[in-house]
Amino acid sequence: MKSYFRKEIDALAGYVPGEQPKMADLIKLNTNENPFPPSPRVRGILQNLDPEELRRYPDPNSDELRDVLATMYGVKRANLIIGNGSDDLLTMIFRAFASPELPVVIPTPTYSLYPVLAAMQGAECRRIELIPDTFTLPGDFAARAAGANLCLFARPNAPTGNSIPREWLRNFCAGFDGMVVIDEAYADFADDNCMDFATEFPNVLVMRTFSKSYALAGIRLGYAVGDPLVIEGLMKLKDSYNVDRIAQKIGVAALSDREYFLERCSEVKRERARLVRELSALGFTVIPSQTNFLFVSPPDRDAAAYFAKLRSEAVIVRYFPGEASTAPFVRITVGAPHENERLLTVTGRIYS
Ligand SMILES: *Cc1c(COP(=O)(O)O)cnc(C)c1O
């Protein structure tokens, strides 16, 4: 049959999310989900939910959630937009700032959804290779980025786990003639962040998600902070009711339980430190991680074999064989203590 799709869509391979296998007794360390449950206050919201409320549309702008976040960051409601996950915000951002006339620039490897969204817009996506094995920025990044209308950095980066230097990024934001999006999906596990750039620079958006650090990947909730004019522009192109009632309430409840949140983040960081120690002792190369996952290369650099052996033992991690720079590595989500134990036992058996 003749295709009625736009040529950009026909040419698109589509984003491939990490698998969500249904097998029992699986150790699932492949999509950076939180190993701990969300705050008990989230359970409270769900238990007290009155289905009658669901007759009504939700608040189109998620104002209560925006106000809680505004207080938390010392910004205004007008500095915030809420998304149905940060992926929803990324869709809005690409629709707003990328087109055949308006190119996008990203470092690579990074979050593999960015080039897919650029392709949907028919926008050129200029990929600037990070330096192999350290995954740091090449010195001429800014010069090569010039002329693009949109530049995205995941900071900390995925799948590598490390962060580009904060002061370098501040200079970049000041000098780049286009929008800079700083995707801070993992910032709660990091030593620093760039949230202050969102109000310091009119051309910067900083994005966060509830999916990783708040253990709420299943409700789809994220937000972006930026200049009120930029936020207003994005509001024009979002779905009218992009965040459902339940998600809005759950977000407010999760944010109210700061103590629980900080304790769970510390636990993930403690487990991360243990994995770094033990995998390094086995001869793995471990990229310094600011996230809830590790990007590691086994002693023989045969990541494909390591991935397959783990899988045969029901331990699922993520492997990105597509690019030469990522092929010797696997990405391992920090799990619960017993899951990490199992990973280490199996790994020890393979490489001892
Ligand atoms: C997980 C992730 C996202 C997506 O977050 P959602 O809120 O679940 O859509 C965005 N960016 C990066 C870098 C991520 O790792």
Lowest-pLDDT range, 16-25, 68-77, 334-343? 16-25
47: which residues sit within 8 A by CB, 6+ positions away?
none
CA of 39 to the centre of ligand 1 (A): 20
The mean pLDDT value for 263-292 works out to: 98
Strands 125-129 and 104-108: parallel
Q: Does position 84 have pLDDT exceeding 90, yes or no?
A: yes
Res 204 pLDDT > 90: yes
Pocket residue to mutate for ligand 1, from 20, 84, 86, 116, most atoms within 8 A of Cβ: 86
**d(Cα 317, Cα 332) in Å, to the nearest integer?**
5
Q: Whose CA is nearest to atom 11 of ligand 1?
A: 185
Using CB distances shorter than 6 Å, the residues near ligand 1 are 85-87, 111, 154, 158, 183, 185, 209, 211, 217, 222
User: What is the model's pLDDT at position 20?
Assistant: 75
pLDDT tens digits, 135-148: 999 999 999 999 99
Mean of the pLDDT values across residues 103-115? Answer: 97
Q: Quick one: pLDDT at residue 200?
A: 98
Sign of the C-alpha dihedral computed for residues 155, 156, 157 and 162 taken in this order: positive
C-alpha of residue 187 to centroid of ligand 1, in Å: 11
CA 208 / ligand 1 centre spacing (Å): 8
**Structure-block tokens of residue 86:** 């940060």
Q: Is the pLDDT of residue 348 over 80?
A: yes
* Mean pLDDT value across residues 198-217: 98
Evaluate whether 230 touches 179 at the Cβ level (below 8 Å).
yes
**Overall average pLDDT of the 301-325 stretch:** 95
Mutate to test the pocket of ligand 1, among 108, 111, 184 (most ligand atoms within 8 A of CB): 111
At 170, which helix (H) or strand (E)?
helix 166-175
Hey, which of 211, 221, 320 would you mutate to test ligand 1's pocket, going by the most ligand atoms within 8 Å of its Cβ? 211
Work out which ligand 1 atom sits closest to the CA atom of 31.
1
Atom of ligand 1 nearest to the CA of 211: 8
The single-letter DSSP state of residue 84 is S
User: For residue 77, what pLDDT is reported?
Assistant: 98
pLDDT on residue 305:
97
CA of 352 to the centre of ligand 1 (A): 35
> Separation of 31 CA from ligand 1 center, angstroms?
10
- What is the structure's pLDDT at 190? 98
Ligand 1 atom having least distance to the Cα of 83 = 7
Q: Which atom of ligand 1 is nearest to the CA of 89?
A: 9
Torsions phi, psi for 229 (to 5 deg)? -70, -40
Q: Could you tell me the pLDDT band of residue 192, with boundaries at 50, 70 and 90?
A: very high
Taking all residues of the chain, what is their mean pLDDT, rounded to a whole number?
Answer: 96
Q: Which atom of ligand 1 is nearest to the CA of 222?
A: 7
- At 111 the pLDDT is 96
Separation of CA 15 and ligand 1 centre (Å): 13
Confidence of residue 23 (pLDDT cuts 50, 70, 90): confident
Question: Is residue 251 scored above 80 in pLDDT?
Answer: yes
Residue 250 contacts residue 105 (beta carbons within 8 Å): no
Question: Could you identify the atom of ligand 1 that is nearest to the CA of residue 221?
Answer: 7
First-to-final CA distance of the chain: 56
Residue 59: predicted pLDDT: 98
State in Å: Cα 126 to ligand 1 middle: 21
Residues 215-245: tens digit of each pLDDT? 999 999 999 999 999 999 999 999 999 999 9
Ligand 1 centroid – CA 87 distance (Å): 6
Kindly state the average pLDDT of the residues 293-304: 98
**Which atom in ligand 1 lies closest to the alpha carbon of residue 217?**
8
Query: What is the model's pLDDT at position 13?
Result: 85
